[in-house]
Structure 1
Amino acid sequence: MNAVPKTMAAVLLTGHGGPEKLEYRTDVPVPQPRADEVLIRVEAAGMNNTDVNTRIGWYSKAVHGDTNSTAAGPGQADDDDASWSGVPLSFPRIQGGDVYGRIVAVGDDVDGDRLGEAVVVRNLMRHYVDRRSYECWTYGSDCDGGFAQYAVAPSSESFAVRSDLSPAELGTISIAFTTAEGMLYRAGVGAERVLITGASGGVGLAAVELAKLRGAEVIAVCSAGKTDAVRAAGADRVIDRDADVVAELGARSVDVVVDVIGGEGVNDLLSVLRRGGRYAIAGAIGGPLAEIDLRIVYLNDLSLFGCTFQEDAVIENVVRYINEGRLHPLVSKTYPLSEIHQAQEDFIAKKYPGKLVLIPPHDVEG
């Protein structure tokens, strides 16, 4: 195993704002694992909405617009609450919550047999909050993540994988697939009729695939140009994102809605749920504010689930599916880590279905 250098390439987020706040450098000190941590040589790190949302400060309650309009406009965020936890971020920060790589060093109290293991890192980490329910640290936000050649993570949050998937494909697992599985787990999805919004994105495609593994009939909502990718993931029916879902499906016709879009379409999504139906949401790229008719909710005995915190079973299920060869992530494009500005521009434009992945430069070692 190659010696670990003293410095590395990494992308530093220097504050909330535009792409200029992302600074690619090659002189960043390699982090050192503490007693219960491991050092991972990052081989791939997927791009996610949270990377953009954190950079632009979208999580601030002062922001009312969707991700794209906020990303394109002047700063609107209040820096004091522009994070998942509502606590101000400290800068510089290395983002990147979707991490795949190999363990190259271990801290005290970590078994040396872990050296060389291929691992994915849980994005919503329980280790640093003493495993309290409904609390977590977000990798790449509350602490440094994987947009770098090397990253540290708790040993207990670094899950060994044995898979024929490529590094880029494995670099899509930690956020997209666990977010999707977390929504399905929280809503108790089984062999029933499920509607999935944003189905051509990373989380949406993962939700389609994972719902099919649970025996569900999947109706997917996406843009017309990405239908083939969504059908390939297993969707039984695809509806154009601009269509009227109530007119297409009928009221009270769906058991579960899995939503990552939010915005003004939420009321229609609630309207297609059957009596006793469930609505799960884990994103709002279409806008954080929605006007809903509460009569639809209480007269139909609907259950609404906000999905961030994940029980241990979520990551365990996803890793098991990987190791059994049952997951097939779609990676549309990879970029050198140094091209993160272009990668985020393409990501925001939603040019491609599935995932975009950053590859650190391991031919240049600090």
Structure 2
Amino acid sequence: MVLTRFGGPEVLELRDVASPEPGPGEVVVDVAAVSLNNTDVWTRAGAYGTTEPAGWLGPIDFPRVQGADVCGHVARIGEGVSEDLLGQRVLIDPVVRYSDGPERLVESVLGSEVDGGYAEQVVVRADRVHDVTGSPLSDEQLACLPISYGTATGMLERANVGSGETILVTGASGGVGLALVGLAAARGARVIALSSRDKAAAVQEAGADVVVDRGGGDVGEQLADLVPAGLDAVADVVGGGLVAVAMPHVRPGGRWVVAGAVSGPVIELDLRQLYLRSISLLGSTMHTPEQFEVLVSAARAGQVRPVVARTFPLEEVRAAHEEFERREHVGKLVLQP
């Protein structure tokens, strides 16, 4: 399924294209499952542009095959790649290129700057595939992990969330939110999740100790009752007006880590809430290679249990995008080539 231009789901077209060939240090992976993300629909729409339509990291070369979250099997290898990889079930790190420097920032992503997994095959660097042959998770569950769970792992690592702490997860029924709930609970944290009432049961099943109904009255008052001593951390993918509402309920020395702004990127914030109480405000984009290794280890051991909301055949990707944008599902939507 090829992205032909910026626009609605209709700009995705089914085409026959040449099978990819691996170059030196590369492998070709037969795609078993590929999941959808916010980045897919926003990139398709050009929603990252401020004045002109643009992809996540800038201009997009069309036609482009989207799809960053890929689980599959290594089918062919390029020069210099170990034959041991052939036939392995693998999870792909979707970051094609990390920057050098003290913070390994993301510079290029599968399905954005290079062709991704909305296809029967994808070619990637051999050092980006991780063996998950023995994982108890299904191909569809594994395909849920890279972007959402990678982002969630990066957030929790950067905020240093540990056992016994209380964390608020915003947007808890979404892909990253649900990942945060499960991963934070697995670390032994007390998880307070912010979600709609109709999705509360699914969020609680994923590991939340308490679900706060975002439409059930003053969120600040609910937090004051639940955590009178204050939150140790907030993992935020919502942004918008929630920041001003919830920031007063973070304890002195607490952490607020943000990796999204689905309710709005521009906020009002009384800076005294930060500096007078020494609260850390942290930005987090996806994951580092080391953080992805942490996630892969958890997947191999079956310590994460991603929720697959629904699967679609690849040729129905337009319908999958439409369902994703309705945001009525809990968990991940997965394509099966």
TM range (shorter): over 0.9
- Is the Cα contact below 8 Å between 1:221 and 1:241 reproduced in 2? yes
Which residue among 77, 94, 114 is the counterpart of 1:106? 77
User: Quick check: 1:312 aligned with 2:289?
Assistant: yes
1:308-347 alpha-carbon deviations (Å, 9 max, x no partner): 1522221111111111111111001000111111111111
Residues 245, 272 of structure 1: 8 Å contact kept: no
In the alignment, the residues of structure 2 paired with residue 230 and residue 309 of structure 1 have an alpha-carbon distance, to the nearest angstrom, of: 22
Q: Residues 355 and 309 from structure 1, CA distance in 2 versus in 1: closer, same or farther, beyond 3 angstroms?
A: closer
Query: Unmatched 5+ residue regions in structure 2?
Result: none
How much has 1:117 moved relative to structure 2? 0.6
| In structure 2, C-alpha distance between the alignment counterparts of 1:298 and 1:35, rounded to whole Å | 51
In the alignment, the residues of structure 2 paired with residue 289 and residue 311 of structure 1 have an alpha-carbon distance, to the nearest angstrom, of: 26
> Aligned equivalents of 2:50 and 2:327: distance in 1?
25
Structure 2 match to 1:91: 62
Letter in 1 for 2:23: R
> How much identity, in percent, do the aligned residues show?
44
Match of 1:327 in 2: 304
Distance 1:235 1:269, change over 3 A: same
The runs of 5 or more residues in structure 1 that have no matched partner are: 1-10, 63-77, 361-366
* Cα offsets for 1:124-162 (capped at 9, x unmatched): 2336x5687224311111111111110011111111112
What count of residue pairs does the alignment treat as equivalent?
330
Shift of 1:83: 2.6
The aligned runs of 1:49-88 (5 Å cut-off) are 49-62=38-51, 78-79=52-53, 82-85=54-57, 87-88=58-59
- Partner residue, 2:199: 226
User: Would you say 1:24 and 2:14 are equivalent positions?
Assistant: yes
**Given the alignment of the two structures, is residue 34 of structure 1 paired with residue 23 of structure 2, yes or no?**
yes
Runs of 4+, deviation exceeding 6 Å? none
Letter of the 1:114 partner, please give it.
L
Q: 3-state DSSP class of the match of 2:222?
A: helix
CA contact (8 A) 1:252 1:271 kept: no
Counterpart secondary structure, 1:99? strand
- Mapped partners of 2:26, 2:246: distance in 1: 43
* Residue of structure 2 equivalent to 1:14: 4
Cα deviation, residue 258, structure 1: 0.4
Q: Offset of 1:274 from its aligned partner?
A: 0.9
C-alpha contact (below 8 Å) 2:230/2:249 kept by paired residues: yes
- The answer for the alignment partner of 1:342 in structure 2 is 319
SS in 2 for 1:28: coil
2:129 corresponds to which residue? 158
2:221 aligns with one of 231, 241, 247: 247
- Give the distance between the partners of 1:140 and 1:339, measured in 2 at CA: 18
Checking the alignment, whether the CA contact within 8 Å between 1:252 and 1:275 is kept in structure 2 is: no
Which moves more between the two structures, 245-254 or 91-100? 245-254
How far apart are the structure 2 equivalents of 1:268 and 1:281?
15
Provide TM-score, normalisation by structure 2. 0.94
Cα distance in structure 2, aligned partners of 1:59 and 1:84: 5
Q: Indicate the SS of the match to 1:221.
A: strand
**Contact conserved, 2:233 with 2:255, CA < 8 A, in 1?**
yes
Match of 2:190 among 199, 209, 217: 217
* Paired position in structure 1 for 2:331: 354
Deviations 1:37-92 (Å, cap 9, x if unpaired)?
11000000001111011111121124xxxxxxxxxxxxxxx13xx2332x311111
The amino acid that maps onto 1:17 is: G
Q: Once the 2 structures are TM-superposed, how far is the Cα of residue 264 of structure 1 from its aligned partner?
A: 2.1
Q: Is the 8 A contact 1:42 1:151 kept in 2?
A: yes
Aligned to 2:261: 284
Pairing partner for 2:244 from 249, 267, 270:
267
2-side partners of 1:34 and 1:230: how far apart?
43
TM-score of the pair, normalised by structure 1: 0.87
Q: Is the 8 A contact 2:65 2:116 kept in 1?
A: yes
CA distance in structure 1 between the aligned counterparts of 2:113 and 2:203, rounded to whole angstroms: 33
In 2, distance between residues paired with 1:309 and 1:175? 7
* Cα distance in 1, alignment partners of residues 70 and 326 from structure 2: 23
